[in-house]
């Protein structure tokens, strides 16, 4: 496909993230990017500002697909999208903790894969520091409301501790390879930090349930021979989907603006 000066965008997912991203594209808020279609496994009717299409149809008319529908879509469709020659912007970075999938996507083409940082900052600096040498310690602590962290694999004792908690409770501790698999809708941040650092096993992650958490918080602490770094983010949860933060779709839009060639961007 010959690429025009305007990025022709297909959006997968019409949820809390997709609605904001699709609305901004449809109203021309991202110069150089046009919403061509929406892909979703539910009939959306007139609720979307662009035609609803299958993925196969989207690949015929788009040069960029934005994933806003969860890790499963990345696993099931990522390689197919890239093999078609269409670029892919991934919001659900948690899927990339699967080493085989990450290699498959990074090696696939001719389409190119990009990742958005979502609700976390400081990734650009961590990538720059990584070029200076390995970080000795990287710790991410994510704190959310208990109800947003409940998972089918949790036993009755853990669920009861979370539901009856009057103070913060650590729900899981592990690496950035382990945690996103257990919390597929709540810990993409861990995978994003791992992508920046270059090693998911080097990033220690603590997931904390706090009944008093008005904000979702992410604290990154990293250190090495060349310096030490600390970033703290506190976001309001999305009202429609408290498992994600309100800022996430705007991070996707920022990435889209960069891909569309907006000048003056901090990259």
Instruction: Answer whether 76's CB lies under 8 Å from 85's CB.
Output: no
Residues in a beta bridge with 78: none
| Residue 161, CA atoms < 13 Å, CB-side half-sphere | 13
Model confidence band, residue 4 (pLDDT cutoffs 50, 70, 90): low
pTM of the model: 0.86
Residue 177 in tokens: 């390879």
Given the DSSP bridges, would you call strands 169-175 and 113-115 parallel, antiparallel or unpaired? unpaired
Residue 19 phi/psi, 5° resolution? -65, -40
As a whole number of angstroms, the distance between CA 251 and CA 245 comes to 10
Residues 56, 71: Cα–Cα separation, whole Å: 19
Query: Could you report the per-residue pLDDT of 190-245, keeping only the tens digit for each?
Result: 989 998 998 889 999 999 999 999 899 999 999 988 899 999 999 998 888 887 88
| Chain segment 68-121, per-residue pLDDT in tens | 998 889 999 999 999 999 999 999 888 888 888 988 998 888 999 999 888 888
Domains and CATH numbers, the chain: 7-117+247-259 (3.40.50.720), 123-235 (3.30.360.10)
- Catalytic status, residue 226: no
- Of 215, 218, 226, 235, the catalytic one is 218
Residue-averaged pLDDT of the chain: 91
């Amino acid at each position: 496909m010959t690429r025009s000066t305007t990025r022709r965008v297909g959006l997968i997912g019409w949820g809390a993230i997709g609605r904001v991203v699709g609305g901004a594209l449809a109203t021309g808020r991202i110069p150089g990017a046009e919403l061509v279609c929406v892909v979703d496994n539910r009939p959306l009717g007139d609720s979307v500002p662009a035609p609803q299409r299958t993925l196969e149809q989207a690949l015929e008319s788009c040069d960029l697909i934005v994933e806003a529908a969860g890790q499963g879509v990345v696993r099931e469709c990522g390689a197919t999208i890239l093999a078609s020659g269409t670029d892919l912007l991934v919001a659900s970075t948690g899927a990339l903790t699967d080493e085989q999938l990450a290699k498959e996507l990074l090696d696939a083409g001719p389409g190119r894969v990009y990742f958005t940082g979502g609700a976390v900052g400081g990734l650009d600096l961590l990538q720059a520091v990584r070029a200076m040498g390995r970080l000795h310690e990287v710790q991410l602590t994510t704190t959310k409301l208990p109800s947003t962290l409940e998972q089918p694999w949790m036993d009755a004792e853990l669920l009861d501790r979370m539901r009856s908690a009057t103070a913060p409770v650590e729900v899981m501790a592990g690496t950035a390879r382990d945690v996103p698999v257990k919390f597929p809708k709540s810990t993409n941040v861990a995978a994003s930090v791992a992508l920046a650092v270059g090693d998911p096993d080097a990033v220690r992650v603590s997931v904390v349930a706090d009944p008093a958490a008005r904000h979702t918080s992410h604290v990154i602490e990293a250190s090495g021979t060349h310096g030490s770094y600390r970033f703290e983010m506190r976001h309001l949860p999305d009202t429609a989907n408290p498992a994600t933060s309100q800022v996430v779709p705007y991070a996707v839009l920022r990435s889209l603006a960069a891909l569309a060639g907006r000048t003056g961007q901090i990259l």
